[in-house]
Structure 1
Amino acid sequence: MRAEVIVSAVRPDDFASYVAVRSHALQRFAYLMSGDAAESADLVQEALARAYPRWRGLVKRGTHDAYVKRSIVNGSIDRWRKLGRVVPVADVSEYDGRTAPAVDGTTDADEAWRLCAELPPVQRAAVVLRFHEDLAFAQIAEVLDCAEATARSHVHRALASLRGRLTTGVDDD
């Protein structure tokens, strides 16, 4: 709901004021989608560049913020598809597929990000929109351009996957 307060304070017909007020939040959203600061800056820039020519129509329909976020999600998914799901690892022989305990400065937030980064992009987007952006399922569906039931399903499956990964990493002493 805090995004709605900020967005409503912006003069929506003024693209420059929208960018000035929302760019930091969009950058943070893109970072949560991609996990990389440089890539997130590119995602935001590309999304805003796509929105600019359509800005007046988007504002009239009231979908300008959802359009920009959806562009960020689409850009993240496109990059993920191009690069594939391969994540380089220094030494594969040491990896046993289990979650390591939080030591050596690893925080719960680091562990949460690592687990979320393993989710498929659409599920990760749904989780970020639901729990970080605090959006309702109807708003998530608008951003992801899907039915509300599908948005609920994405969140449900992502949470089930995260729970499964957390329980497999816990020792049963």
Structure 2
Amino acid sequence: MKRRANSSSSSTFSKDMEFEEYMAARQPSLLRTAYLLTGDRHAAEDLVQTALAKLYLSWEKVQRRDLVDGYVRRIMVNENNSLWRRPWKRNEVPTGEVPERRAVAPEQDHGESSALWDFVQTLPKRQRAVIVLRYYEDLTEAETAEVLGISVGTVKSQASRAVASMRLRVHTQPILNRDTEEER
């Protein structure tokens, strides 16, 4: 009996060590993805924590370790989407406080990434998820489709609609700025 207990605890220890190594290596990237999905640092931390907890519970069932990132992204997208289905979330009122932004060297940004991110935040959740996974996470169309559980054609159409919507906003934004400057 003692051998079984030792081998079981050894197996659990090995599982825990393997999971901790994965988590330490991938947590920053997962946090970035979660932030891009949620637009809020605290919500992103909660989303990653939930996803990693669910991953830990099924760690022994994960057959191919090379597919873990896709599995975790899928958990995050599903959790983020289901969060918006919860009744208490619909009753939240925005406070008007601006969330913290990640620091970008001024010579690299010129305000473009901030403005672009503002456009991405206004997209419907499915289009935003496609844009985040395709262009921020640099996944292929097939990988994005697998993570979201949709067809490659849907990824293409959602990306196309999102890009068209953002292009339209980019082209109309300078016009609005010029109009407001002329009124001054």
TM-score range for the pair, normalised by the shorter chain length: 0.7 to 0.9
* Post-superposition CA distance 1:34-80 (Å, at most 9, x none): 11111100000101111112223223375321111011111222223
Q: Indicate yes or no: 2:78 matched with 1:74.
A: yes
Q: Indicate yes or no: 2:141 matched with 1:167.
A: no
Aligned-pair CA distance for 1:170: 2.7
Unpaired segments ≥5 residues, structure 1: 1-12, 91-105
Aligned-pair CA distance for 1:21: 0.1
Give the whole-Å Cα distance in 2 for the aligned partners of 1:85 and 1:157: 29
From 44, 52, 69, give the equivalent of 1:48: 52
Aligned-pair CA distance for 1:85: 10
Q: Give the AA of the match of 1:40.
A: A
Higher helix fraction (1 or 2): 2
Using structure 1 for the length normalisation, give the TM-score.
0.75
Query: What is the root-mean-square deviation in Å for CA atoms of aligned residues?
Result: 2.8
The change in CA–CA distance for 1:24 and 1:126 in structure 2 (over 3 A counts) is: same
Please identify the structure whose Cα radius of gyration is greater: 2
Match of 1:37 in 2: 41
Match of 1:149 in 2: 153
From 100, 117, 121, give the equivalent of 1:117: 121
Aligned-pair CA distance for 1:113: 1.2
The change in CA–CA distance for 1:80 and 1:107 in structure 2 (over 3 A counts) is: farther
Give the whole-Å Cα distance in 2 for the aligned partners of 1:32 and 1:51: 20
**Which gives a bigger RCO, structure 1 or 2 (Cα 8 Å, sep 6+)?**
1
Give the whole-Å Cα distance in 1 for the aligned partners of 2:161 and 2:129: 12
Q: Indicate yes or no: 2:68 matched with 1:64.
A: yes
Q: Percent identity?
A: 39
User: Contact 1:55–1:64 at 8 Å: present in 2 too?
Assistant: no
